[in-house]
Amino acid sequence: MMTGAHALVESLKREGVISIFGIPGGAIMPVYDVLYDTSEIRHILMRHEQGAAHAADGYARASGRPGVCMVTSGPGATNLITGIATAHMDSSPVVSIAGQVPSSLIGTDAFQEADVFSLMLPITKNNFLVRNASEIPQVVKSSFELATSGRPGPVHIDLPKDVQTAEFEADWPESEAKQTDPPKTDPNTISQIVEMLTSSEMPVIFAGGGAIQAGCSKEILALSELLAVPIVTTLMGKGIVPETHPLCLGMLGMHGLKVANKAVQESDLLFGIGVRFDDRATGKVRQFAPNAKVIHLDVDPSEFEKNVRADLPLSSDAKAALGMIVDQLLAKAAKLRKSERIQRIERLKMENTNDAVVPSQPISPQFAVKEIMRALDEDDIVVTEVGQNQMWAAIHCKISKPRNFITSGGLGTMGFGFPAAMGAKVARPDSNVIDIAGDGSFLMNCNQMAAAVENDIPVVVAILDNHYLGMVRQWQELFMKKRYSAVYLGERTDFVKLAESFGARGWKVERPGELLEAMREALKCGSPAVVDVEIAREANVFPMVPPGASLDEIVD
């Protein structure tokens, strides 16, 4: 016999959970009482529930394992919603658990009651309102299976307080909950793809976050090298192959690299792998890759035809399908048109690449990001906030491995970066983790510095400090005749003192020559740290495709 609270904790242990990010409250207190005696699970007390969700998300993205967050009912649960929506948009496996008022009070507007089940429906793969303690073992098992199977995503469990205290005789699931297996891949379809790839003149591989989730980096690189096909990525696909590889052209889209956009626009075949063809990647859809046939490989068939018409859609596990494609190519031993394709790639790079960044005073954000990257190794993790800082990082950070670049893509959630970096550091403690931040975005969840210090999570925040909500200011400059409305953050925030007030370390950088050493000291100090980098106030992110324009209309 055990209580529902004991059953929940035991179920989490059986799922391999070793870290939970959360904040207790009255409606979840029985579970926290059990955690008091549970040495196998580390609970990290966050300072706001949104941060708990982002930390669980960062943990999931860095590790590939589900991240777990836990809060109380009412405002505790509703504060999770932005973080869960962020995970949902980027297909990140998070299991969130919230206490709920006793079953008899549900629907009575009881103290700290909210209909969290309904609120979570549109932003989760599934969610559960547990009515009986005996359901808990299977609900937890199912939640973890759903979060990680097929297209990953968040799952929520709502747990009334009386269910937590009820006693029952536990019956642990003997077998795993049924997964949704990827559809079987038709060899004839694979043969069609092989024929399309070998016969086209200017094919391009277009890889997204789904490719990282599928773990198909080796297969994509093998396909690219076999056929000399260039690779472009979405923001979420950064790191699927080393961005220094000669066949990787980098990120495309609104703030994508000119060479990547040009390659797509000139292509006659676009092979989309784990991508949504979202508006920030495609620009004006009707003029996106206008001469290209499209192959769309994704585990989730609901993405087909949603934004871009596919000549050949294939719903399959990307790793398995790409493995079959590579095997057919090797067996076929066909004469491949590599030399012509390599010449085209070299021409594109020569005509559309300009990486020159020089020191300047005030510090340019491009220079700042490149100096930050000099302080890191290829196994280190770059997390970003949202805004100009995010795009400067996406453009100038050369990422070598999957899961080493973590950002809020679909929802674009300001305040995501710092708590997500904390989660990533908990997941991979041997890697340095840095949050490239804007001052506005960092301020939204800077209170999590207290949690980082108290829980000894040595994350470094590098703030590109321009005293503005920079991306909004840039758009107001370009499209609103420089009428800066409600974007100036002021001069008085001292980020070094703010860090020190929490017990963290802080550095202020105002000259280009100071930045690299400050970053190295911050990474070595063994404490959460902030490096506040004063950058040019009105620096803009370029290249840029104006909203509503095609990828051909890039401004650089």
Question: Residue 357's pLDDT is what?
Answer: 83
Cβ count within 10 A of residue 60 = 30
Residue partners of 330: CB distance under 8 A and separation at least 6: 226
CATH fold match for the domains 2-168 and 365-534: yes
Question: Residue 337's pLDDT is what?
Answer: 67
Taking only the tens place, the pLDDT of each residue in 204-260 is 999 999 999 999 999 999 999 999 999 999 999 999 999 999 999 999 999 999 999
Residue partners of 188: CB distance under 8 A and separation at least 6: none
User: What secondary structure letter does DSSP report for 468?
Assistant: B
Cβ atoms 461, 384 nearer than 8 A:
no
- Checking if the pLDDT of 178 tops 80, the result is no
Percent of the chain exceeding pLDDT 90 equals 94
Cβ atoms 137, 7 nearer than 8 A:
yes
Q: Tell me the angle at which helices 365-374 and 512-524 cross, rounded to the nearest 10 degrees.
A: 40
Taking only the tens place, the pLDDT of each residue in 9-63 is 999 999 999 999 999 999 999 999 999 999 999 999 999 999 999 999 999 999 9
- Checking if the pLDDT of 375 tops 80, the result is yes
Question: Residue 177's pLDDT is what?
Answer: 46
- How far, in Å, CA of 435 to CA of 440, rounded? 13
Q: What are the DSSP calls for 476-503, one per residue?
A: HHHHSTT---S-B--S---HHHHHHHTT
Taking only the tens place, the pLDDT of each residue in 389-409 is 999 999 999 999 999 999 999
- Checking if the pLDDT of 336 tops 80, the result is no
Cα angle 468, 469, 474; round to 5: 90
CATH class of 365-534: alpha beta
CATH of domain 187-352: 3.40.50.1220
Under the banding of pLDDT at 50, 70 and 90, the label for residue 174 is: confident
Cβ count within 10 A of residue 106 = 16
pTM, 2 dp? 0.97
The mean predicted confidence, pLDDT, of the chain is 96
- Checking if the pLDDT of 432 tops 50, the result is yes
Six-digit token pair at 122?
A: 């549109």
Q: Taking the domains of the chain in order of start, what are their residue ranges?
A: 2-168, 187-352, 365-534
Q: Region 190-196: what's the mean pLDDT?
A: 96
Superfamily name and number for 2-168: Thiamin diphosphate (ThDP)-binding fold, Pyr/PP domains (3.40.50.970)
Question: CA separation (Å) from 380 to 217, 283, 425?
Answer: 18, 32, 10
Q: Tell me the angle at which helices 136-148 and 4-14 cross, rounded to the nearest 10 degrees.
A: 30
Taking only the tens place, the pLDDT of each residue in 311-333 is 999 999 999 999 999 999 998 76
Q: What is the Cβ-side half-sphere exposure of residue 251, based on CA atoms within 13 angstroms?
A: 29
- Is cis: bond before 313, omega within 30 of 0? no
User: What secondary structure letter does DSSP report for 555?
Assistant: B
Catalytic residue numbers, as ranges: 49, 111-112, 161, 471
